[in-house]
Amino acid sequence: MKIAVVGATGLVGGVMLKVLEERHLDGHEIIAAASPKSVGRRIAFAGRELTVVSVEEAIDSHPDYAIFSAGAAASRQYAPLFAAVGTTVIDNSSAWRKDADKPLVVPEINIDAVRTDDRIIANPNCSTIQMVLALSQLHRRYRIKRLVISTYQSITGTGIKAVRQLQEEEAWHAEQVRQAGHDVASQLDAMPAHNQAYPYQIFRNLFPHGGDFQPDGYTTEEQKLIDETRKILGDSSIMVTATVARVPVVGGHSEAVNVEFHQEYDLDEARRIVAATPGVVLYDDPNANRYPMPIMSEGRDEVFVGRMRRDLSQPRTLNLWVVADNLRKGAATNAIEIMQQLMSR
């Protein structure tokens, strides 16, 4: 088969190529496509090199699958052109997630939502994927009534520009320490301001801002958690409220999730359900300080769950902590797992 990776030179695109190799899909013809400024660049892949081509050239090659991580604008422009030549597109942007005619898929939950004639399939937002996977079987057993979500999202979710901002700020601080001979306090007005991905420094800082602010005061990242959760779990009645924070972490996203069920639950049974959910690892032993952290999720495909405990303030409500590598299961791995499931059909 021919598999095109569109946006191959970006952070997620690079992870997509890595996951393709890890899953022994490098025997297929892999087409690396990107924007005009990257055309001709050579990328190491599975012991050989791929030459980056234009998106138009990738379309002309009629690939069987095109995995997109090139942003919503590029997806809206090019995904229909791939679909028109018979390619199945799996898109990692927000372009198609709200479209009622496009399946939004976490394969362990709802791969059956993909029909044989679907040519554009949406990959959910990274913070949504890890949360709904952790909750999917609990929802089936007890039915979720309401979710209160607080996220602690890695800078890698913003992209390479954010990673460079953090690196520059760290280097600036290290230089100040070297010159002063002791640790110095970070100062918002003194940090380098060029190449900023964020309105504020991220080094030694965090802010409750992910995505763009909407007129109602919520951000687009928070709205994704609301809309996508309902669509993937197939229940528009679930009430969801969310607060997104960006933190100076590279390894993965973390989420504190408060879940109110329609039915009363048994905590031990809930723990067994989570532990048995495909793709989820229950890592939860407070007495041994065992709980999920971004540093342990980096480079792994599993979703880690811990801190499971009853909410003592109201009935039928559970607290849990969810962590995953947002570039892998939150993006690249989920997209490739969708493709593999479709290939197996």
Determine the pLDDT at residue 188.
62
All structural domains of the chain: 2-124+331-344 (3.40.50.720), 128-158+202-326 (3.30.360.10)
pLDDT 10s digits, 118-157: 999 999 999 999 999 999 999 999 999 999 999 999 999 9
Quick check: 258 pLDDT over 90? yes
Quick check: 247 pLDDT over 80? yes
Q: What is the dihedral of CA 302, 303, 306, 311, to 10 degrees?
A: -160
Determine the pLDDT at residue 233.
98
Q: How many other CB atoms sit within 10 Å of the CB of residue 194?
A: 6
* Cα–Cα dist 144/233, whole Å: 10
**Which pTM was predicted?**
0.95
Determine the pLDDT at residue 181.
79
Return the structure tokens found at 173: 């601080």
Lowest mean pLDDT among 174-183, 291-300, 326-335: 174-183
What is residue 282's DSSP assignment? E
* Cα–Cα dist 204/186, whole Å: 7
Quick check: 189 pLDDT over 80? no
- Contact 259/143 with Cβ under 8 angstroms? no
pLDDT 10s digits, 56-93: 999 999 999 999 999 999 999 999 999 999 999 999 99
Buried b (16+ CB within 10 A) or exposed e, 287-296: eeeebbbbeb
Whats the size of the chain, residue-wise?
345
One-letter amino acid identity for 161? K
Return the CA Rg of the chain.
21
User: Phi-psi region for residue 41, left (φ > 0), alpha (ψ -120 to 50) or beta?
Assistant: beta
What are the residue numbers of the active site? 126, 253
What is 84-100 written as a DSSP string? HTTPEEEE-SSSSTT-T
